[in-house]
Structure 1
Amino acid sequence: MAPELAAAAADLARAGVASPRVDAELLVAHVLGVPRGRLLLIDAIRPEELARFRELVERRAGRVPLQHLLGTAAFRHVEPAVGDGVFVPRPETELLAGWGIERTGPGALVVDLCSGSGAIAIAIADETGAERVIAVERSAAALAWLRRNTSAYPVVEVVAGDVTDPGLLSDLHGRVDVLLCNPPYVPDGTAVPPEVAGHDPAEAVFGGPDGLDVIRPVIALAGALLKPGGSVGIEHDDVHGEAVPELLRADGRFIEVTAHDDLTGRPRYATARRRWDSA
């Protein structure tokens, strides 16, 4: 099977795929129904499997997202289903989810805004003793994926809503322990990879002229929803390393504002705690 893998990797490299060998291995493992780590134990591939593999490689070379071809996206210890109409969760968002997980104690109330596929929400449900996780999404297409992915997690409640609505979840004001959000934040007009431009919903990617059109109301909403001492984490574009922490400070209701980099050293998310007083 080595020649087939080498040929596939070469095709993907010529197409500009960032990780051609890894993608080829994941695709053939998917076709064979085995973990990628077991490929070394497989010497041959049946003709029908080879045909399917070549078909998937051709689609990947056409820059269809790998996750769409696999049907799922790996995210921490869960694999939410993804496809047309929903944003594919990225590895860097695992850092934000991990930060939130560390601050979610037993019985906690957690809110995941701009939930999309529900990756953050189900990771929280999977790894913590949260009593209630509310996943908010406005896109009808994304809601279908969100409901599918959260159906196995009874603590997760899906809410169809717009995070820019100041009245959203008004019955929870001052009650939320942890609020996380991976909003659309790419400034309008920014060049994005073909996988994003052709397949991720634009409303889940672009956040207005400066990329902050959704983040601003999310910060205001977090200030209303969080209980005193509650935690907020918001992912942002790498051009927002100073802007988002400053917005949190300027709100006046947050302390311990902290900027965080991703694994490549780029600014990626900002966190804070709700003040203990009534400001």
Structure 2
Amino acid sequence: MKRQPLRLAILEATRILEQAGVASPRADAELIAAHVLGVERGRLPLVPLVDPPVVEAIGQLVTQRAKRVPLQHLTGWAALGDITVAVGPGVFVPRPETELLLEWGLKVLKGREYPVVVDLCTGSGALALAVAHARPDAVVYAVDNDSNALAWARHNADTRAEAGDTPIRLYSGDVTDHTVFAELDGLVDLVLCNPPYVPEGTPVPPEVAGYDPPQAVFAQGGGLDVIRHVVAAAARLLRPGGGVAIEHDDSHGRAVPPLLQARRVLTDVADHPDLAGRPRFVTARRA
């Protein structure tokens, strides 16, 4: 069997994905090729020729991606910070936008020894585990109310612990319950949350509509119901000088900051844009 140029396979994959309406066709084509070859994306130029079975395997995954199956479901992982976590059916796929929220949170922790961190609505556990990886001295708590998500989070937590990261403390609970983590009231250095926030009825891409759990995406009250509870939790959990960061819908740039400003104990409220310049997450400090 004659070997074939990998470059041509990637070009064909890009064309197919572009026609299918995939938002990042070239990047997805390269990530699929890297996944099949078992190499990092940046090393693809070092693989000029591939065997026909490799081209066929790339083509099969591209066909699935063209049907708008999430790329992360095809590769089995998603990245956040310096780690990857396993994802698939039944759990929300972490997005690149959340990197900025994570970066802000890690800056809050600079200069603090043995900080206490809480990740509300943890889903796959990505945020909690990324913090635990970056700050091995941190005590990281994570909670979710969905059993499927918690199963993924437990798997990811076990995998990261086996890799040598500090284990996180994973719990089943609901952020709408005002007793969640009550024993930590006033003791937490950092609260992070990527909650359900898309207003019900909002059109979403096929990758979201068909694969992300609806309860992890949509929220009532114009997308603000869960966020209101997260703000209340942060106000009681944080110690003086502690910080909170909450992701929100790009339509919430003017709606979410006032929810934090209404809490007298929260100061320095600021809203931050995502990688595309859209309003994406709000931060505050405990007075």
TM-score of the superposed pair, with normalisation by structure 2: 0.93
Instruction: Please name the residue that 2:232 is paired with.
Output: 220
> Equivalent pairs: percent with the same residue?
54
1:234 lines up with 2:246 in the alignment: yes
Structure 1: distance between partners of 2:83 and 2:31: 17
Mind listing any 5+ residue stretches in structure 1 that lack a counterpart?
none
The CA deviation at 1:129 is: 4.2
C-alpha distance in 1, partners of 2:92/2:203? 17
Give the equivalent residue in structure 2 for 1:270: 282
Partners of 2:108 and 2:242 within 8 A in 1: no
In the other structure, the counterpart of 2:3 is none
Q: Which runs of 5+ in 2 are unaligned?
A: 1-5
Query: Residue in 2 aligned with 1:162?
Result: 174
Question: 1:76 aligned to 2:78?
Answer: no
Match of 1:106 in 2: 113
Q: Distance between the aligned counterparts of 2:170 and 2:93, measured in 1?
A: 18
SS at match of 2:130: helix
For 2:265, the equivalent position in structure 1 comes to: 253
CA deviations over 1:149-191 (Å, ceiling 9, x no partner) = 1121334110111111111111111111110101000000000
Look up the equivalent residue of 2:143 and give its one-letter code: V
- Runs of 4+ with deviation above 4 angstroms: none
Counterpart CA distance in 2 for 1:231 and 1:4 is 47
Q: Which residue of the partner structure matches residue 3 of structure 1?
A: 8
Aligned with residue 23 of structure 1, among 28, 37, 51: 28
Match of 1:91, as an amino acid? P
Q: Distance in 1 between matches of 2:7 and 2:285?
A: 52
Q: Which one of 21, 37, 42 corresponds to residue 42 of structure 2? A: 37
User: What whole-Å deviation, never above 9, does each CA across 1:35-93 have from its counterpart, x for those lacking one?
Assistant: 11222122222232222211100000000111111111121211111111111111110
Which residue number in structure 2 is paired with residue 86 of structure 1?
91
Question: Do 2:245 and 2:282's aligned partners in 1 also have CA atoms closer than 8 Å?
Answer: yes
- Secondary structure of 1:26's partner? helix
Over the aligned positions, Cα root-mean-square deviation in angstroms equals 1.2
Count of residues in correspondence between the two structures: 275
Are 1:14 and 2:26 counterparts? no
Conserved? CA contact 1:110–1:130, under 8 Å: no
Provide the C-alpha distance between the structure 1 equivalents of 2:57 and 2:213, rounded to a whole number of angstroms.
27
SS at 2:236 equivalent: helix
Helix, strand or coil at the partner of 1:240: coil
2:133–2:166 CA contact under 8 A, matched in 1: no
Given the alignment, which residue of 42, 52, 65 partners 1:47?
52
Q: Which moved more, 1:157-166 or 1:39-48?
A: 39-48
Shift in Å, 1:252: 2.0
Aligned mates of 1:247, 1:219 — CA distance in 2? 7
Q: 2:42, 2:250 → 1: CA distance?
A: 33
